[in-house]
Structure 1
């Protein structure tokens, strides 16, 4: 298709708590993606950086920061911010530049150095900051929202803490096979149940950590790929970066709501469903065509919701799909073959890029022990603060 762009390279810096700056993580990931593409940094016509708010001024101009770290060479530069969807917005920007003919080959980079523990509100008074309002006015930290969302699913659909635990068990098993994951140990449902309660009914092992890490992609026009890459590269066919439609109950508190406004919203979120629908329509496919999915599992309960919002099952049947084994290795539609955020933790501007890295390796047949046989179509799904939705569909 004429609107496809090729994924020539994918690279990552391992997730963890390394105690170094985000620039180092991004540069390592960028060099790995360039090596994977068989290209030199001087071959790149444009660089798009996904911003981090934790890196001071360099974090706000991440594209230029990474360009400087790699060595000024005159490339076009762009920096984007969309909270947890920053990486997908960066991919979308790179794709638009390629399709517009502004650059033949674009490097996309995101990296973060996250603080220890769960994210806290910014210092000082920031009444225009949705996170600050949510934390200070409602007292609703991220784990509180996740717990409320889990409770709503339990009330509406009969999900149980045991169902949530099985999401962690599944993802930890896949993460144990991923050399870039921070947590590489399998866990049992009993270990999840024995971990500390954070926001009832969710326990520590139900909620993703905060991490350091980086991810990068080299994207190109199909014409450039035909001249410079092996045949049949992985291609990005659709990128959805939609906003909600009014009215939606999820935005009843627009200045406070974040990833899942479970205080006021039903568990079924039309915004998340619209993220996937937009991507499917652009790609000309449906959920029945998918080989795998990478979804944004901030909590185990939220992964179950993504099953429904991606159309992998009917509303309210996410736990049933999990129990049937459909979303595990060998199942009908494996989800989070990378190990997900359960195994990585949040390195905010990098995580949507990391999802596309996993799709790329799976579609190439290069995912090692976690490979899904015959993978041909994959989707990533992610949602950022304040109406940033994203999904990427990759094909081969």
Structure 2
């Protein structure tokens, strides 16, 4: 089954602004959920299922997010599901909702992700965990997330000749888009000079090259296409594909699975077939679309250099050509294929269970033509991409 037979409708999208608000994740989730319900024109009792993206840092309520959100909205008999896949949790929650709809288990599903993130980089939780890849990376390599991002940046500099000045241009681009997004945490334009003047965190990356951690929430109301038509929405935004693939090993003798946040392999091959590329390829195949069909992309810019990796893995350009694509202006607002018109994590920061859902919210508003100053003209198809620990793929393609 391909194309329209596998589509589900996005009836509503809602968010809580990102920031550091000092409140609980449930409060943020309720703001996003109620906004998504209002956008869909539905009351809470009309929802047949709730899928919550989990957050392991918020105790037991975070571990059972689906039920936590359903209780906060008021018990009304909806089925509940809770999904954890680290940074891919939101996409896995969307996929779970889509599966329930296509299986005929529910006509309407509310998907919610929310987080109250700690200050600083994310560290493994729960004490000593020798089966946790992040814990191992920290203990064996001494590589916190910024150090890991810096290693990828150094690789790009060594293999492709990228420069810190080019990395800084990613931040400049995303900050300009985020300045026009009312949900973004950082809404101030940034110059390349600002990036260069910010403190070095892990050479060659500076403070403004790396995303923050944030509080925030996002929610979607998904439905069957038949339900959307009955609601008088003849041409809704549709989710055409969700990629949740895992890596393939071994690829070379130098593979190092599960020691990196993205579970990608380290290789001396300058053009490896990365896990990120596999995530995108699976989404394109399921959707029956290719990079040439896209109007925009929302990608996981944990660091400025990592965004350039996504350009290549999404097939927007060839290996090593990400910086060239950026410098040509192709990925800026008004360019041939804007990337992160929301402002990306550079403008939002990480709210882990919410971020993949927030990406689909942005696609929804763009495809509806409701993105305001950051609107991509004539948007008809968009892709999201991020990835989660332990080999969780995450990519969503939406069309209109």
What is the rounded CA distance, in whole Å, between the counterparts of 2:37 and 2:131 in structure 1?
39
What is the rounded CA distance, in whole Å, between the counterparts of 1:245 and 1:369 in structure 2?
41
| Stretches (4+) displaced over 3 A | 248-251, 260-269
What is the rounded CA distance, in whole Å, between the counterparts of 2:137 and 2:62 in structure 1?
23
Assess, with a 3 A threshold, how the Cα gap between structure 1 residues 250 and 171 changes in structure 2: closer, same or farther. Answer: farther
* Contact 1:380/1:393 (8 A) holds in 2: yes
Match of 1:253 in 2: 256
2:155 to 133, 152, 156: 152
What is the rounded CA distance, in whole Å, between the counterparts of 1:195 and 1:123 in structure 2?
33
RMSD: 1.4
TM-score (norm 1): 0.98
Q: CA deviation at 1:178?
A: 0.2
Check if 1:390 corresponds to 2:382: no
What is the rounded CA distance, in whole Å, between the counterparts of 2:264 and 2:102 in structure 1?
36
Q: CA deviation at 1:261?
A: 5.2
Q: Deviation per CA, 1:234-253, whole angstroms, max 9, x where unpaired?
A: 00001100001121359933
What is the rounded CA distance, in whole Å, between the counterparts of 1:17 and 1:136 in structure 2?
29
SS in 2 for 1:172: helix
Q: Deviation per CA, 1:156-205, whole angstroms, max 9, x where unpaired?
A: 11100001000000000000000000000000000000000000000000
What is the rounded CA distance, in whole Å, between the counterparts of 2:164 and 2:192 in structure 1?
10
Assess, with a 3 A threshold, how the Cα gap between structure 1 residues 385 and 319 changes in structure 2: closer, same or farther. Answer: same
Match of 2:309 in 1: 305
2:320 to 316, 319, 326: 316
Q: Deviation per CA, 1:16-53, whole angstroms, max 9, x where unpaired?
A: 00001111111110000000000001000000000001
Q: CA deviation at 1:262?
A: 7.5
* Contact 2:17/2:183 (8 A) holds in 1: yes
Q: CA deviation at 1:311?
A: 0.3
What is the rounded CA distance, in whole Å, between the counterparts of 1:93 and 1:373 in structure 2?
31
Question: Unaligned stretches of 5+ in structure 2?
Answer: none
* Contact 1:12/1:214 (8 A) holds in 2: yes
1:228 to 228, 231, 243: 231
Check if 1:167 corresponds to 2:170: yes
Match of 1:89 in 2: 92
1:325 to 322, 326, 329: 329
Assess, with a 3 A threshold, how the Cα gap between structure 1 residues 168 and 333 changes in structure 2: closer, same or farther. Answer: same
Q: CA deviation at 1:2?
A: 1.4
Match of 2:183 in 1: 180
Match of 1:190 in 2: 193
* Contact 1:250/1:260 (8 A) holds in 2: no
Match of 2:299 in 1: 295
Match of 1:367 in 2: 371
* Contact 2:263/2:389 (8 A) holds in 1: no
Question: Unaligned stretches of 5+ in structure 1?
Answer: none
Check if 1:357 corresponds to 2:361: yes
Q: CA deviation at 1:258?
A: 1.8
What is the rounded CA distance, in whole Å, between the counterparts of 1:272 and 1:390 in structure 2?
9
SS in 1 for 2:6: coil
